[in-house]
Amino acid sequence: MINVNQMGVVQMQKGEIKMFIRRSKYEVEKLIAKQRIETLENIICPNGHDYKKVGIKTVAYDTLFGNDLQEDVYVCSRCRKIKE
């Protein structure tokens, strides 16, 4: 059985396992990772991405009229970032 108190401490019955759940710490780590990705993209593609069309992605099928909803798929020629 797992108990969670108001402070975010998880306590389990078998043994004394305690772990802190901190949403703010998770959000900070997520923001740091996002900024790191943007920094690396700016190093690889300093003047912006050079997207080229590589295909078509079908988003939704229309079986009645045959009008499928499709989106173009682009890939940067330098860093291989996919833009849909």
Order of strands across the sheet with 51-60? 51-60, 69-76, 82-83
Residue 27: predicted pLDDT = 86
Which H/E stretch holds residue 23?
Answer: helix 23-44
Name the pTM for this structure: 0.53
* Secondary structure (H, E, C), 24-78: HHHHHHHHHHHHHHHHHHHHHCCCCCCEEEEEEEEEECCCCCCCCEEEEEEEECC
pLDDT tens by residue, 32-47: 999 998 898 889 888 8
Higher pLDDT, 44 or 13: 44
Q: What is the mean pLDDT of residues 9-15?
A: 55
pLDDT tens by residue, 23-35: 788 888 899 999 9
Higher pLDDT, 12 or 81: 81
